[in-house]
Amino acid sequence: MENILITGADGQLGSELRTLLDKRGDCRCFYTDFGQLDITDAGAVEDFISGHSITKIINCAAYNDVDGAEADSAPAIRINVTGPMNLAEAAARHGIYLIHISTDFVFNGERRTPYHESDRPDPLSEYGRTKLAGELAVKRSGCLSIIIRTSWLYSPLGKKNFVRTMIRLGEEEDFVNVVSDQTGSPTYARDLAEAILHILPQLDGTPRYGEVFHYSDEGSCSRAEFADKIMKLRRLECEVVPVPTSSYPTPARRPVCAVLDKSLIRTVFGVKVPLWERSLSKAIRLF
């Protein structure tokens, strides 16, 4: 039986994985967050992996405060670079697989067509730079691993995300300004969790070392269109006013158009990619 370590398990993706894995019972799962296993502590990572005979790691832990990382990049470096490096080096020592999660923010978003895995990263923010450095740390370790880049994650199990914020504003305000010149793919963390669990049993057949795959829900929209859809699905009488990014300045620059091409993950692993609108209409009932 597999012994799977899920780090950052109290976050959006980790919580969705727990919900799915708890229904299965075909593996032993160890759900850890900062309190149980701080991934920035190399000794603790090694002790946990050897102490629990871990056979696979899914790293959902991350520092995701994109604007916060501009003011102080130290925690982002620790959690997004040192953490994955510790997990990857331990995975290499034990000959076990690591699934690591990264982001569309490794791209500058200047392309108007979906990004392939082979496209050159060029992050605009400290957050993006630390996530890219985390990918490189995983690759450099030489461990059995895949890296999945995703985008605009939300989950009703998450404490803070765009959907939750829009529902709150929609209930409190008559109108809300939302940027209309940033395009991406809203992704229900449940869909990504399902994709990961679909991939997991296929990993043993083929050794992969830091191979990158893209996964987001299908289709794309602007932040304003995403907000508008949320208001409509919740029947909230709040007008979404489209505004340019220039009128809503943030400390971190964000990619204007970071849509991921999912052909590779579909072809290699047979992953199904649902449409973002369909997934949102399922998820919204659970918020």
Ligand X SMILES: NC(=O)c1ccc[n+]([C@@H]2O[C@H](COP(=O)([O-])OP(=O)(O)OC[C@H]3O[C@@H](n4cnc5c(N)ncnc54)[C@H](OP(=O)(O)O)[C@@H]3O)[C@@H](O)[C@H]2O)c1
* Two tokens, residue 251: 């400390």
Q: Is 152 among the residues that bind ligand X (CB under 6 A)?
A: yes
Closer to ligand X by Cβ: residue 165 or 177: 165
Residues in 62-91 at the binding interface with ligand X, rule: CB under 6 A:
62, 64, 79, 83
Q: How far apart are CA 124 and CA 112, in angstroms?
A: 16
Q: Is 150 among the residues that bind ligand X (CB under 6 A)?
A: yes
Q: How far apart are CA 261 and CA 152, in angstroms?
A: 15
Q: Is 103 among the residues that bind ligand X (CB under 6 A)?
A: yes
127 is catalytic: yes
Shortest distance, CB of residue 95 to ligand X, whole angstroms? 23
Q: Is 61 among the residues that bind ligand X (CB under 6 A)?
A: yes
Stretch that binds ligand X, among 108-116, 150-158, 163-171, 224-232 (CB under 6 A): 150-158
Q: Is 180 among the residues that bind ligand X (CB under 6 A)?
A: no
Residues in 1-40 at the binding interface with ligand X, rule: CB under 6 A:
7-8, 10-13, 33-34, 38-40
Q: Is 126 among the residues that bind ligand X (CB under 6 A)?
A: no
Shortest distance, CB of residue 82 to ligand X, whole angstroms? 9
Shortest distance, CB of residue 5 to ligand X, whole angstroms? 11
CB 208 within 8 A of CB 147: no
Q: What Å distances lie between residue 59 and 94, 196, 274, 276, CA to CA?
A: 16, 11, 23, 24
Cβ-Cβ contacts under 8 Å for 265 (sequence gap 6 or more): 148, 195, 199, 213, 214, 215, 271, 273
* Two tokens, residue 12: 């959006």
* Two tokens, residue 272: 């199904």
* Two tokens, residue 61: 């832990």
Size of the residue set binding ligand X (CB under 6 A):
26
CB 123 within 8 A of CB 132: yes
Contact positions vs ligand X (CB under 6 A): 7-8, 10-13, 33-34, 38-40, 60-62, 64, 79, 83, 101, 103, 131, 150-153, 158, 189
Residues designated as active site: 127
